[in-house]
DNA sequence: TAGATTGTTAATCGATTAACAATC
DNA sequence: TAGATTGTTAATCGATTAACAATC
């Protein structure tokens, strides 16, 4: 199949496939069907086949998919073979946790520079990284070939940091602040919005027995 | 409008509306139109009106929505007025960061108990909470009326923790481990999957100039 | 009033699922 | 071969957007 427009929904499922395939590979399982994948990942097998078919013919009819081959292909698609350098701004609890993780983002991302607007934090060490003031962002992006920025500052400052990222030449941003950021064409912003996940989770609590909106329902 | 089946997409947008409305309220802005909201939140105004209309008639034709009234209504819908008690399992970097946050989850969620499978962590203090061993989970859920569980353990252990949550009577789970968890009907599992966000972000880097899949397939 | 904006129905768009020929 | 499973087209489903009467 030709690489037409791939929808976001498809791209977001690729990491999910990849992670499970890695598990299979670690268990020395060599072949997997869309059926198997669907059961484990709670997805429709036809959807999985269709998702993969956007990028090529990776399976064998009557057999299934070779696990290691499919891993290789998905890694290529997601471009996980190139190491990407990451800058993180905001050294609060979450920012420090991510720096200490760091290798959790293992496959292809590495936090190489850390920044904080608070001048008093300058020089602090976090997992071998020295906290820098924001004025040094632009130079660091050039020096370390940084392509991705992570925002872990309070909501009120997030847009400002995003703008500075863009000005410095960063083209991919992961924003942890619970606020919608404005971007420009060519810059991709993803949100890691777990506070929204929690709030929407609350909605579903006890909703099974349908006690919401008692006044108007039915 | 009658409260029929509300789609997940709608519920997920409610926290986004709420947060921006809170900003408006803080700025003493009393009225807002779906037009304004749409511009700020990058959404179609018709979609916003439709979303809100699922739950009632909150606006005034020709005028717009009263900010504080809409805040109140959305808080009711999401049930943010009741405080929910939360248990967290896994006191690694991320788990500790969330505990230290804690009030970040301010509106209606409070972490009241923290657990770790590692016995040697028993008794450790994290932001005034004492780390407990897993055997005490069930009793704590009853004692503190805990309704939500947060999972911040490694992927391999996440399903096991989820099962223990369910067995203890928890009906809402926020999972930070990058793995798909199996649930049972009546238990709601949300994922805070920022590693997937990063991996899918990588896909879009440089894809603007469309250099993917230069070779057709194979 | 005249202009603005909602609530809601109808039209459109896109994503998921079903079905099946191809073929391993 | 016979059974299994892909890749892909067609059918279905659901979500978004447009349009507009109601009305503030």
pLDDT, tens only, B95-140: 999 999 875 556 789 999 999 999 999 999 999 999 999 999 999 9
Return chain A residues 7..46 having CB < 7 Å to nucleic acid strand C.
Answer: 7-10, 43-44, 46
pLDDT digits (tens, 9 = 90+) for B70-87: 999 999 999 998 899 999
* B212, pLDDT greater than 90: no
Residues of A within 8 A of B93 (CB-CB) are 96-98, 100-101
For the record, the structure tokens of A31 come out as 């072949």
Q: Which helix (H) or strand (E) holds B12?
A: helix B8-26
Query: Which of helix, strand or coil describes residue B188?
Result: strand
Rounded Cα gap, residues B94 and A155, in angstroms: 19
Residue to mutate among A38, A204, A216, with most B CBs inside 10 A, is A204
pLDDT category of residue A215 using cuts at 50, 70 and 90: very low
Distance CA B105, CA B84 (A): 10
Report the distance separating Cα B17 and Cα B69, nearest Å: 13
The CA distance from A1 to B153, in Å, is 39
Radius of gyration in angstroms for the set of CA atoms belonging to chain B, rounded to a whole number: 21
Of A91, A9, A187, A97, which is closest to residue B90 (Cα–Cα)?
A97
Q: Which nucleotides of D are covered by protein (CB under 7 A)?
A: 3-9, 14-19, 21-24
Confidence category of residue B2, pLDDT binned at 50, 70, 90 = very low
- Measured between beta carbons, the chain B residues lying within 8 angstroms of A148 are 198, 201-202, 205
Instruction: Give the neighbor-by-neighbor strand order of the sheet with A31-32.
Output: A31-32, A64-66, A59-60
pLDDT band at B208 (very low <50, low <70, confident <90, very high): very low
* Cα A69 from Cα A88, distance rounded (Å): 33
Give the SS3 label for residue A172. strand
Nearest nucleotide over every DNA/RNA strand to the A63 CA, judged by C1': D5
Mean pLDDT of A98-116: 83
> Which of helix, strand or coil describes residue B121?
helix
B210: closest chain A residue by CA = A3
Q: From the CB of residue A128, how many other CB atoms can be counted at a distance below 10 Å?
A: 7
Cβ–Cβ < 8 Å for B86, B125: no
CA A44 to each of CA A16, A41, B197: distance values in angstroms, whole numbers, following the listed order: 14, 9, 22
Contact assignment for A190 to B206 by CB distance below 8 Å: no
Residue contact B84–A205, C-beta within 8 A: yes
Every domain of chain B and the residues it spans: 8-77, 84-199
| A190 membership: H or E segment, kind and range | strand A188-191
**Architecture of B8-77 per CATH?**
Orthogonal Bundle (1.10)
CA of B65 to C1' of D1 (A): 70
pLDDT at A212 over 60: no
Q: Residue written as tokens 């660091």?
A: A140
Q: Are B56 and B70 in contact (CB under 8 A)?
A: no
Output the pLDDT for position A206.
Answer: 75
How far is it, in rounded angstroms, from Cα B66 to Cα B33?
9
**Residue ranges at the known binding site of B for NAD(+):** 90-95
The yes-or-no verdict on residue B211 having pLDDT over 80 is no
CATH classification for the domain delimited by A8-78, as one of 3.30.70.1450, 3.40.190.10, 1.10.3720.10, 1.10.10.10? 1.10.10.10
Protein residue nearest nucleotide C22, by CA to C1': A61
Which chain B residue's Cα is nearest to A15?
B196
Share of chain A above pLDDT 90, in %: 83
Question: Cβ distance A124 to A137 under 8 Å?
Answer: no
Contacts of A125 (CB under 8 A, 6+ apart): A131
Provide the CATH topology of domain B84-199.
Rossmann fold (3.40.50)
Do the Cβ atoms of B16 and B41 come closer than 8 Å? yes
Chain A and chain B share a number of CB contacts under 8 A equal to 194
Query: Given a cut of 70, is residue A140 above it in pLDDT?
Result: yes
* Cα within 13 Å of Cα(B53), Cβ side: 11
Q: Which residue's alpha carbon is at the shortest distance from the C1' of D8? A: A50
Share of chain A above pLDDT 70, in %: 91
- For chain A, what percentages of helix, strand and coil (3-state, to nearest 5) are there? 45, 20, 35
């Amino acid at each position: 199949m030709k690489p037409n427009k791939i929808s976001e929904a498809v791209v977001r499922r690729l990491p999910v496939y990849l992670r499970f395939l890695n598990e299979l590979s670690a268990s020395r399982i060599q072949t997997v069907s869309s059926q198997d994948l669907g059961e484990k990942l709670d997805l429709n097998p036809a959807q999985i086949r269709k998702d993969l078919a956007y990028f090529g013919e990776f399976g064998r009819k009557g057999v299934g998919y070779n696990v290691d081959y499919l891993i290789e292909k998905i890694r290529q698609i997601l471009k996980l073979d190139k190491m990407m350098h990451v800058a993180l701004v905001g050294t609060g609890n979450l920012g420090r946790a991510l720096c200490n993780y760091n290798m959790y983002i293992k496959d292809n991302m590495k936090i190489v520079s850390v920044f904080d607007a608070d001048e008093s934090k300058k020089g602090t060490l976090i997992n071998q990284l020295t906290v820098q003031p924001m004025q040094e962002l632009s130079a660091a992006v050039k020096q370390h070939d940084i392509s991705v920025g992570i925002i872990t500052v309070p909501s009120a400052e997030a847009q400002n940091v995003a703008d500075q990222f863009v000005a410095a030449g960063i083209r991919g941003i992961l924003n942890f602040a619970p606020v919608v950021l404005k971007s420009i064409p060519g810059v991709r912003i993803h949100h890691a919005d777990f506070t929204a996940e929690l709030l929407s989770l609350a909605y579903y609590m006890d909703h099974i027995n349908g006690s919401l909106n008692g006044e108007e329902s039915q």
